Amino acid sequence: MAMMMGTLLLSICYFKERVIFSDASFYLFKLVKETRFAIFHFRFVAFLTQILPLIARFFELPLYTISLLYSISFPLVSILLFLWCNRIDKSGSYMLVMVLSPMLFTTGTFFWITSEMTQGIMLCALFFAIQNVSKSPIKWHLLLLPIIVFSHLWAMMAFCFWVVFLFLHKVLKRRQAVMLLIICLTLVLLKTIFFQEPYDWSSLGGIKNFISLFPNYFTTHAFTAFIHLLPTQYYWVVILLFVNIRHYILSRNYLKLSLMLFAFSVSLLLVNVCFPSNSTPGYYLENLYQPIAVFLFVPFVFDVIITWSENLKRAIILLVIISAFIRIMTAYPIYHERLSFLEKTYKEVGNAKAIIPNNSYWKSKLYDTWSSPFEFWMIASFECQKTPSIIITDSIGKMQHEGSHAKVFLLTWNGTPYADYPKKYFQFEDTISVYQLMEKR
């Protein structure tokens, strides 16, 4: 609980860096503009973190307040899931996996807050905690399974690992494990047929790289970056692998050892082959590595740590949590500098309606540039309660055409009329000028 309260405190202190960044700014834009949940790619679990900001929007509270509530909603949801799991899980194992798993990689993902996979993986721990104690003939907790599967396609890997591990751990019977796997795969099939999502399929399109990159899977930029980050950010991966492998070899539990190594290797290979180049931001790769946290912490909590003394347990748990906070605070200047650069650009452009050609300069400063109109809107709204018209884009010709009308607000994909926006949150002062192309940097 102390760890989650610490995360809550940091989400308040660093809330601007968290919400004025990439998908979060877009989600807030949609929520504020349309006064409804901003659910994308059928990832329904996101509604949990949008309840508070949506209530604030319903009562027309300031954007500053809505944004702060959105930032703190993520640790608040984690706290609620933790309390629910703690009430059910008398052993404390499922609860401990829920708490520790997000801490393994968390660095940039603390600031890139919209990962539904994180919430899906936490729900996995809650699901199996309920499964472990449920005596009811009606398995209500199965309703969590569609939310988990729809949270992210790769969250399914974490769920399937839980099933096989708990079967080997003799918590699940063979029939239970088979039924859960069948239900999970059936939901994936139904999602594929009836809820087709180009975004998910475009991500999986990287599987073709297994052919084009063969056999150079371990020389990709992504894999090289992973290795370089092991001593500075991902050090717990090495430690957990070592202690888990040592335990399973000494205890001669080769089935669990094989399961852990297979899941770890396949997940790592999938990420680094599907997203091999430096065009994929580090925080996004960090997000995709999250199932690995489950593959390492589940064996660690259920088999390894129980053989240690209470003092050693507390010390290791404390070290994992403290190290995560250190990584977050170390990463903060990077995201604060990004925010400062946005503010500087907004002030330099002033009241002009600007189309800025995207290039390596802007990408090096902002990482993601597709969300620039939403980020500039938030920054200006916080400072002076007016809406700027600034977009950084690759589609120069299209944006110049769309922006040739005076009362149009250019977004990432198109332009929309001023009349479509609620005046409390979108204050367009210039209704005469049109967008102008800025010089390249």
Q: Are 167 and 177 in contact (CB under 8 A)?
A: yes
- Give the DSSP per-residue string, 39-75: --TT-GGGGGGTHHHHHHHHTT--HHHHHHHHHHHHH
The residues spanned by each domain of the chain are 2-307, 339-437
d(CA 141, CA 148): 11
Q: What are phi and psi of 356, to 5 degrees?
A: -105, 120
Q: In which band, very low, low, confident or very high, does the pLDDT at 431 lie, cut at 50, 70 and 90? A: confident
- Give the DSSP per-residue string, 294-344: HHHHHHIIIIIGGGS-HHHHHHHHHHHHHHHHHHHHHHHHHHHHHHHHHHH
Question: Averaged over 348-366, what is the pLDDT?
Answer: 89
Percent of the chain with pLDDT over 90: 72
**Amino acid 212: pLDDT:** 85
The answer to whether residue 440 scores a pLDDT higher than 70 is no
Q: What is the pLDDT of residues 224-236, one digit of tens each?
A: 999 999 999 999 9
d(CA 47, CA 147): 11
d(CA 380, CA 378): 6
**Amino acid 138: pLDDT:** 60
Extract the tokens encoding 40.
Answer: 């994308």
Extract the tokens encoding 328.
Answer: 């977050």
**Amino acid 137: pLDDT:** 60
d(CA 331, CA 175): 46
Q: What is the average pLDDT score of the chain?
A: 92
**Amino acid 208: pLDDT:** 84
d(CA 393, CA 399): 8
**Per the confidence metrics, is the pTM higher than 0.75?**
yes
Beta carbons within 10 angstroms of residue 20's beta carbon: 25
d(CA 128, CA 95): 10
Q: Are 280 and 222 in contact (CB under 8 A)?
A: yes
Q: In which band, very low, low, confident or very high, does the pLDDT at 198 lie, cut at 50, 70 and 90? A: low
- In sequence order, what are the beta bridge partners of 356? 392
- Give the DSSP per-residue string, 237-267: HHHHHHHHHHHHHHTT-HHHHHHHHHHHHHH
Q: In which band, very low, low, confident or very high, does the pLDDT at 441 lie, cut at 50, 70 and 90? A: low
Question: Averaged over 42-69, what is the pLDDT?
Answer: 96
- Total residues found in the chain within this entry: 441
Q: Are 26 and 70 in contact (CB under 8 A)?
A: no
Percent of the chain with pLDDT over 70: 96
The answer to whether residue 199 scores a pLDDT higher than 70 is no
**Amino acid 51: pLDDT:** 97
